[in-house]
Amino acid sequence: MQLTSRPVLDRAWLSSRARASRPRCAPVRVLAFNENGKPPASGAAAVVSTPPLTPEAVSTLPPAALASALAGRTETDARVLEAVARRVVQSSDDFEPQALVDLLSAFAAAAAAAPPAAGRVPRDCLAIAAACLTARMSDLQPRDLVRLAGACAALELRATDLLAELCTRADEPAVLSALSPPDLVVLLTALARLQHRCPPLFSDAAEALADAMALPRGDTGCLSPEQAVGAAWAFAEEGLYHRPLFDGASAVLMGRMQGLTGTHLAQLAWAYATVRSADENHRAVWDRDLYESIAGQCLVQRVTHYPPRALVTLLWAFASVPHYDAPLFDAACVALCPHLAAARAPAGPPGSAGAHPADPRRPLGPPDLVALAWALQRVAHKGPAAGAALDALGAAALACSEQLDGEDLTTIALAFPAAKAYSPKFFRFLVDEAQARPQLFGQVALLDLIRLVSGVQHRDPEYYGPAVQVLLDHVHQAFLDAPVDKQGCMNPYRFG
């Protein structure tokens, strides 16, 4: 299938200038505009009672028996896993590829059940297992490829050579046809979580998934709503668009969102907002009812129990389309207030939560504050709920100001006049920073800040009056020192 060459988007909306330059929607690769697998047989597994696995037994069991003993266990002693890792490092050649996949799956299950620090697998063990599997990928069965991709995603094992061989093997016609649509979704979602790009595999899988979504409800090959969300999210995360697949996912989901969680709904809204620029006219017609259904389901479920970043993702997606739903924005703002208060606490070290950057379950961070402010500004959401959310947002921005640059702070400030709100502490901090460190803001951000200050000058003329003059002098000096670059100098959140 032909691919239209367009830049691939890095969708993690970090608040640096380089990445925040695409807040509205993603330039994506278009897989196709053409309009034009049975599930794996699950044989009855014999129930075998196995004795408890001890660290001492790890060194004596044959590799196949060791892998079988670990398979399916949800809780495993950390000492056992350490012994298994040592065994792999010392005698990796003794393990068959299927046994290594079993071991990686066991490591992934243990890591998911244990605290982040306790669930880490020695990297040398993972590296050796990845090298062995890379060399013997052709020996794996189709179902093993799915399990391997899922284990790598859970362990955050971004072994480029391993994933490249896995994609090449999975894209073989005989292997691809042997994978059921649900297995394909698991495979593609895992690759998307690992941010591994493989357009040929996604292109071929898109046809099979689009056909599965066209099957009547109740058919053995039909995808569930959760699987349809996963497929749409994986393609959007990869920066790929396939019209029949997204149309099919929308058709599968209409009227069947009752079982979706807040995270699913956020991923769904984000996926369709991200690919919208690839097919603007078509998506504008097809997705209107979808967004109405998402908003209705969110209100029925009451968004107060949604993960905080799922709420921000929802508001960002609805604002970027744009599809303004005032009740949803009100409910999300009310639900976000306590999470914004918690966001004032210093964040842990990067990656301490072990979550993907686009995972809606991740706690709020500085980039989320910027995204939330941009969403409220873009739709000009007003009212008591918006005012309360902006008060909490201003306090949270003050608490983590060291992690925000001048454009980020200006973007947050622009949300206040749009909602007819005002935060004296945040505005005075912003003006003080701009006067003391104008180089942190840049020409356009300083001009935006002057415009903002002009709107609130009447609230404290003795402070803001002289401040405006200082800011004007800084802008004048900035223009003299470095003339405006007409390419890319604009605040990316200013116009969406």
Q: DSSP letters of 400-413?
A: TGGG--HHHHHHHH
- Distance in angstroms between the alpha carbons of the first and the last residue of the chain: 32
Comparison of pLDDT for 109 and 483, the residue scoring more: 109
84 inside domain: yes
Do 173 and 74 share a structural domain? yes
Average pLDDT rounded to a whole number, residues 137-166: 93
7 inside domain: yes
Q: Which domain holds residue 262?
A: 1-32+203-301
Do 58 and 19 share a structural domain? no
pLDDT at 283: 92
Phi-psi region of 388 (alpha: psi -120 to 50; beta: other; left: phi over 0): alpha
- Continuous segment of H or E residues that includes residue 32: strand 29-32
Dihedral sign for Cα atoms in the order 132, 135, 139, 144: positive
- Of the candidates 259, 278, 301, which is a domain's last residue? 301
- Of the candidates 232, 267, 301, which is a domain's last residue? 301
425 inside domain: no
Do 217 and 99 share a structural domain? no
Do 168 and 71 share a structural domain? yes
C-alpha distance from residue 49 to each of 52, 80, 140, 480 (Å): 9, 18, 27, 79
Q: Quick one: pLDDT band at residue 221, thresholds 50, 70, 90?
A: confident
Mark 229-255 as b/e (b = at least 16 C-beta within 10 Å): bbbbbbbbbbbbbbbbbbbbbbebbee
Do 61 and 123 share a structural domain? yes
440 inside domain: no
Asked if 100 and 129 count as a contact pair (C-beta separation under 8 A), the reply is yes
Q: Quick one: pLDDT band at residue 306, thresholds 50, 70, 90?
A: very high
388 inside domain: no
CB atoms within 10 A of CB 133: 25
By residue count, the chain amounts to 496
User: pTM above 0.75?
Assistant: yes
114 inside domain: yes
Comparison of pLDDT for 492 and 28, the residue scoring more: 28
d(CA 420, CA 386): 9
Do 4 and 76 share a structural domain? no
- Structural domains in the chain (count): 2
Do 160 and 57 share a structural domain? yes
The 3-state DSSP class for residue 432 equals: helix
Out of 220-224, 251-255, 353-357, 463-467, which region has the weakest mean confidence (pLDDT)? 353-357
Mark 268-278 as b/e (b = at least 16 C-beta within 10 Å): bbbbbbbbbbb
Residue 319 pLDDT greater than 50, yes or no: yes
174 inside domain: yes
- Reported as a single tens digit per residue, the pLDDT across 381-413 is 999 999 999 999 999 999 988 899 989 999 999
47 inside domain: no
Do 60 and 14 share a structural domain? no
d(CA 445, CA 256): 45
Dihedral sign for Cα atoms in the order 465, 470, 472, 473: positive
| Burial degree of 340 (CB within 10 A; 0-12, 13-18, 19+) | buried
> What's the DSSP call for residue 7?
P
Asked if 201 and 19 count as a contact pair (C-beta separation under 8 A), the reply is no
Do 212 and 283 share a structural domain? yes
Do 220 and 110 share a structural domain? no
Average pLDDT, the chain: 81
Q: Quick one: pLDDT band at residue 114, thresholds 50, 70, 90?
A: low
- Reported as a single tens digit per residue, the pLDDT across 271-283 is 999 999 999 999 9
Do 287 and 218 share a structural domain? yes
Name which of 331, 325, 332, 425 is nearest 371 in CA terms. Answer: 332
Q: Look-up: residue for tokens 């605040």?
A: 491
Do 155 and 87 share a structural domain? yes
